[in-house]
Structure 1
Amino acid sequence: MKLTIVGTGYVGLVTGTCFAEMGNAVTCVDIDKKKIENLENGIIPIYEPGLEAMVKRNVANNTLRFSTKLEDCLDGADMAFIAVGTPMGEDGSADLQYVLKVAETIGDNMTQPLIVVDKSTVPVGTADKVRNTIEAQLQKRGLQVDFHVVSNPEFLKEGDAINDFLKPDRVVVGTNDKETAEKMRRLYAPFFRSSMDRMLVMDVRSAEMTKYVANAMLATKISFMNEVANICELVGADVNKVRVGIGSDSRIGYSFIYPGSGYGGSCFPKDVKALKKTAEKAGYQAQLLNAVEDVNDRQKLVIADKVIERFGEKLDGMTFAIWGLAFKPGTDDMREAPSIYIIKRLTECGAKINAYDPKAVHEAKEFYLKGVSNVTYTNSKYEALNNADAMLLLTEWKEFRSPDFMEIKNKLKAPIIFDGRNQYNDDRMVELGFEYHQIGKKRIDYNIISP
């Protein structure tokens, strides 16, 4: 098929590249000329494992092209995917200005039947707005062109997006038109070689709702487990053992019940707020979602609170090594990352920070921690430990899983670790002589003398 993908951000670029990988003729469109020039030269704007090689391969095969002019990319297109950003507005609702601008441009330029696919994460009722916008533009031109608007939400995990797209758990398609549904089936058929049962066709509004509910459910599991972790710590239970105890129940499972420093990223915070706003507009107060947010906001500062409890409110003259800045491993994304809040809190108390992350240092410097004083970025995890009073692990990158603990111990002023991801075995840490602070387990007194 001939596809036009509008937006070359995380969703648009992954979507377009994966469709091209299956032999479709794909053009990705973006108004950012510099980004398009970089993509044409093989420079990828985001870090996603496997994406750069796939982009270059499909550009070389002439199945993937890039453009800044949507009006030139509609002729002959079977489908146009809207994959632009839907940032959070001031009131917490999704800002649809970019989605509707694309719809307007489509209405201004389409001359033949077209399937318009909402791939962006959008609230219930957006497809109607897109349809009305396109129809209004066609009427201004005095044209009648057959088109259908489909909801096809994405379910990609940053750090594993290529695998998620090529081997999806499910593909949700919202449309009431049988012919359109069949065309969507043909498009996605290469990704379901064994069975098409995982393509779920439903009405448009249910499809739009599914995306938000999925992310809200996962965010709820995370906040619930973090709430449990905080209770465990107060009553003397070990949340690591509790997690295994409940995860073995097939009704619960182990996914998203790891205690930590809270969720971040581009999806969960924004989508929970948007679903709350959708409920509010419908006259319903989503109390559980309010609690999910409140727990997560507090959880982002738990590790900072532990440091302050251990060393005091005044941290002048103290240095802390930070391992991990991205909100999760496998990405350079720092949107709403716990590291932002922890570092700001510690530096406000006078501390200096040595920070290391395999991929997110540029994002930290240029955007999320720009202007924050007393932060030094290092080229390796061990370099970050130099002259540090303690180490804080905030992102569970693979290279942090089995470090040289003797190297850590020798470089730190005192062998103290605050683990925001419960990465290490506490018994082992005791044997090695570390003072080891976790989430959801009361610290044992290791008789380490304060520096």
Structure 2
Amino acid sequence: MKISVLGSGYVGTTAAACLAELGHEVTAIDIDEEVVASLNAGEAPIHEPGLDELLTAHAGGNLTATIDYGVVPETDVTFMALATPSKPDGSIETSIIESAATSLGEAIAGKPSTHQVVVKSTVVPGTTENVIAPRIADAAGEDFEISMNPEFLREGSAVMDFQEPDKIVLGAETDRARETMRAVYEPLVARVATNVVETGIREAEMIKYANNAVLAAKISTMNEIGNICKEYGVDAYEVADAVGLDSRIGRAFLDSGVGWGGSCFPKDVTALITAAREVGYDPSLLDAVVEVNEKQPRRMLELLDEHTDVGDERVAVLGLAFKPGTDDVRESRAIPIIEGLRERGASVVGYDPVATGNMRKRFPDIEYAGSAGEALDGAAAAMVVTEWDEFAALDDEFDRMADPVVVDGRRIVSRRDGLVYEGLTW
């Protein structure tokens, strides 16, 4: 099939590359000329394992990129993978996808055949039908089909998640729309045993939010239990291992620590809370999920305070990305850690294998090291925030610290002898 993908962020770029790998002829459309040039050169504009290889394989062949919406009528299906960031009140900002919907409608106006539009952006129930579709219709009339296909891609493993999904959710209201989406994913379903869920558009929109809310709640629940475990001198990870053996629970997302961040969990849980209140429901459990997550970095700083005064001292922050495998620093737990250290008068030096450039945009006036050892050199303390594998292998590097106080927010550090070592929840 011929497919166009609007938006070349994490979701759009991964989807475009993986759809090309499935044999479809894909055109990525983005307003950023640098991103378009990068894609056409076979280079990923983001750090995502496996993505460069796919782009190198398909750029100029099954995958091309452009800023021109004029190519849309030449395709059978358009995926909308535009950002829906949070507004100050927690609701989603739809202006980007609304503008794209108008441009899309103008592009397909007069097309002799019915065009299929698939919303892949994360939007609250009712948005596809009440916000996006009317803007397409204003320019194109009613001769198009619209459906919803939420993504469940984890940054750091997005390519694998697309190619080996737990589920594919197809939200549509007509047989024609469902048949088209089945055809898009048929090469994948034929190769990989997965669950295909066919549902209505609003149900598909809600499944995405419910999915992330449950996962966020699971993490916050274990963090709360981990905090209690620490007070009793109990190993929270041994507890998690046993709890995870229950088939109703499972071991995934039970590692207690400094909390969740990134582009999905914070935005989606907050959006669901806001949307619930807009329809008159008080989501008190989700409020608590967020509250627990927000207090974890503060607890990490409080543990540091118990052992040393970092005023005018050098403190290393190891890990700046919100999770390993990505350079994304959105809602990274390193941000409140850095802010808290600066409030205490510390001289902060940060290190991350890939995310330094993005964090530098947020904190341009702190020091950044080229290695973990360099960051630890002369430091009075170290805060381990992201579970990069290389931090587990640190050994003699800790001997470069002035006072070996280490607060580990992820239980990743292997060497603990000779250190004043504090685990966040164990």
Q: Place the TM-score, normalised by the shorter chain, in its bin.
A: over 0.9
**What is the deviation of 1:390?**
2.0
What is the aligned partner in structure 2 of residue 135 from structure 1?
A: 137
What is the aligned partner in structure 1 of residue 115 from structure 2?
A: 114
What is the aligned partner in structure 1 of residue 229 from structure 2?
A: 232
**What is the deviation of 1:249?**
1.4
Paired with 1:329 and 1:409, the residues of 2 have a C-alpha distance of: 21
Paired with 1:396 and 1:390, the residues of 2 have a C-alpha distance of: 17
2:336 is equivalent to residue 383 of structure 1: no
Residues matched between the structures, number:
422
Paired with 2:164 and 2:235, the residues of 1 have a C-alpha distance of: 36
Structure 2 contact 42–58 (Cα < 8 Å) conserved:
no
Paired with 1:34 and 1:410, the residues of 2 have a C-alpha distance of: 43
**What is the deviation of 1:412?**
1.3
Instruction: Give me the identity figure in percent.
Output: 38
What is the aligned partner in structure 1 of residue 126 from structure 2?
A: 125
**What is the deviation of 1:105?**
1.4
**One-letter code of the match for 1:55?**
L
Structure 2 contact 166–194 (Cα < 8 Å) conserved:
no
Paired with 2:178 and 2:186, the residues of 1 have a C-alpha distance of: 12
**One-letter code of the match for 1:419?**
D
Pairwise mapping of residues 320-399 of structure 1 onto structure 2 (< 5 A)? Answer: 320-366=315-361, 368-370=362-364, 373=365, 375-399=366-390
Paired with 1:250 and 1:402, the residues of 2 have a C-alpha distance of: 33
CA RMSD of aligned residues (A): 1.6
User: For the structure 1 residues 263 and 197, does the alpha-carbon distance in structure 2 shift closer, same or farther, using more than 3 Å as the test?
Assistant: closer
What is the aligned partner in structure 1 of residue 62 from structure 2?
A: 63
Paired with 1:59 and 1:152, the residues of 2 have a C-alpha distance of: 24
Which of 247, 264, 267 aligns to 1:267? It is 264
Q: C-alpha offsets along residues 118-174 of structure 1, whole Å, 9 cap, x if unaligned? A: 0011110011122222222234xxxx52x1111000000100000110111110010
Q: C-alpha offsets along residues 231-261 of structure 1, whole Å, 9 cap, x if unaligned? A: 1122332212211221121211111111111
Which of 309, 314, 323 aligns to 1:319? It is 314
State the TM-score, normalizing by the size of structure 1.
0.90
Paired with 1:333 and 1:167, the residues of 2 have a C-alpha distance of: 23
Which of 133, 149, 152 aligns to 1:152? It is 149
What is the aligned partner in structure 2 of residue 446 from structure 1?
A: none
What is the aligned partner in structure 1 of residue 291 from structure 2?
A: 294
What is the aligned partner in structure 2 of residue 54 from structure 1?
A: 54
**What is the deviation of 1:408?**
2.7
Q: Which runs of 4+ in 1 moved over 4 A?
A: 194-197
**What is the deviation of 1:37?**
2.2
Paired with 1:242 and 1:424, the residues of 2 have a C-alpha distance of: 19
Q: Which runs of 5+ in 1 are unaligned?
A: 442-451
Q: C-alpha offsets along residues 1-48 of structure 1, whole Å, 9 cap, x if unaligned? A: 000100011110000110011111100001112221232233422100
Paired with 1:24 and 1:161, the residues of 2 have a C-alpha distance of: 19
What is the aligned partner in structure 2 of residue 449 from structure 1?
A: none
State the TM-score, normalizing by the size of structure 2.
0.95
**One-letter code of the match for 1:438?**
G
What is the aligned partner in structure 2 of residue 447 from structure 1?
A: none
Paired with 1:309 and 1:228, the residues of 2 have a C-alpha distance of: 21
Answer with 1 or 2: which has the greater Rg. 1
**What is the deviation of 1:214?**
0.3
Paired with 2:55 and 2:289, the residues of 1 have a C-alpha distance of: 37
**What is the deviation of 1:355?**
1.5
**What is the deviation of 1:176?**
2.1
What is the aligned partner in structure 2 of residue 448 from structure 1?
A: none
Paired with 2:371 and 2:107, the residues of 1 have a C-alpha distance of: 51
**What is the deviation of 1:379?**
0.9
Secondary structure of the corresponding residue to residue 276 of structure 1: helix
